[in-house]
Amino acid sequence: MPLPLTVKLWTTGDMIILAVDTATTTCSVAIIDKKSVLAEVTLLREETHSKHLMDMIHTAIGFSGLKFSDVDGFAVVRGPGSFTGLRIGITTVKGLAAGLKKPLVGISSLEALAAQVSHWPYLICSLLDARRGEVYVSRYRLIEGRLKEAMGAQVCAPENAIRDINEACIFVGNGALLYRKMLSDMMGDAAFFASMPQNTIKASTIAFLSLNKFQNKDTDDVHRFIPHYIRKSDAELNLANNP
C-alpha cells in the first residue's frame, strides 16, 4: 500500500544532505542540496515510526533521483522529544552513516521549531509536549540574521516555562497547541502563535540547520552519538523511586 506523501522536487547542487525527524508523532525525511529541497516526505501515523521510516527514506531517495552513495552527510533530530521516536530515528541514521562512512550531525528539535518562525520579530519560545503535564522548552532570538539561543532547553510545567517572559513572544510546537489557552490567559496580547504547519518539525529544516556544521566540519561522532532526552525515562524514574 503506498504511503501518503508530501513530496517536493527541485534541481540538484553540490552538497547532498539526508535528514530525518522522529521526535514527535510525525515522521519526516528530506533530501536537500545547498540551495533547495530535492524531496521531502512527511507522515503522521499512530503506529511506531519503525514501521515506515526506511520506506520513507527509500521513497525520498527515489523521488530525488539520487542514490544513497550520492549523499554527503546525514542529519537527525537529537532531541528532546519522544524517547522511542528519537531512538528509532537516531539508530536508523547512525546505521546509514556508519555503513556509508559519511558524517552525521544532530540538531535540536526545539531549534528546528524556532527556525520555522524565525522571520517573526519577537522572542521565540519552542514548546514540545513532554507528557505528565510538562513541556520541553527553549527560547531563541534572531540576531543579525542568525538564530541565537536565549534560554537553554529544559523540561518543566508549561506555566513555569513562560512565567518570566515580559515581552511579545511567539509560541511554536505541539506544546504551544496543547497549552494555547493557558498561554493566552497568562500573556494576553503579548502571546503570538505559529501557523498550524509551522508546529510540525520538517526534516528539510533539520537539513538546512545542519549545513553550516557540515561545512565547518562540526560533526558528531557516529558511534558515540546518543539522544538528548533532557529528562529521565519513566523506567529510570521508577527504578530511582523504588530501588
pLDDT digits (tens, 9 = 90+) for 89-116: 999 999 999 999 999 999 999 999 999 9
Q: Residue 34's pLDDT is what?
A: 87
Query: Quick one: pLDDT at residue 25?
Result: 94
Question: The C-alpha cell of 105 is what?
Answer: 550531525
pTM value is 0.90
Residue 239 vs residues 1, 83, 102, 201: alpha-carbon distances, Å: 42, 17, 38, 32
First to last CA, the chain: 47
Contact 20, 106 (CB under 8 A): no
- Give the residue range(s) of CATH 3.30.420.40 domains in the chain: 17-109+201-241, 117-199
User: How big is the chain by its Cα radius of gyration, in Å?
Assistant: 18
Cβ atoms of 159 and 184 closer than 8 Å: no
Q: Say what the pLDDT of residue 4 is.
A: 41
Is omega for the bond preceding 227 within 30 degrees of 0, making it cis?
Answer: no
Fold entry, domain 117-199? Nucleotidyltransferase; domain 5 (3.30.420)
The conformation of residue 34, written as its DSSP 8-state character, comes to S
* Cβ neighbour number for residue 11 with a 10 Å cutoff: 8
pLDDT given for residue 180 in this prediction: 98
Give the residues of the chain that fall short of pLDDT 70: 1-13, 233-243
* Closest residue by Cα to residue 81 from 39, 35, 134, 7: 134
Residues facing residue 106 across a β-bridge: 76
φ, ψ of residue 32 to 5 degrees: the values are: -130, 165
Burial (Cβ within 10 Å: 0-12, 13-18, ≥19) of residue 163: exposed
DSSP string, 68-100: GGG--EEEEEEESS-HHHHHHHHHHHHHHHHHH
Helix axes of 83-100 and 53-64: crossing angle, nearest 10 degrees: 50
pLDDT given for residue 13 in this prediction:
45
Out of 3.40.630.30, 3.30.420.40, 3.90.870.10, 3.90.1150.10, which CATH number does the structure's domain 17-109+201-241 have? Answer: 3.30.420.40
Looking at this protein, which amino acid is placed at residue 61? I
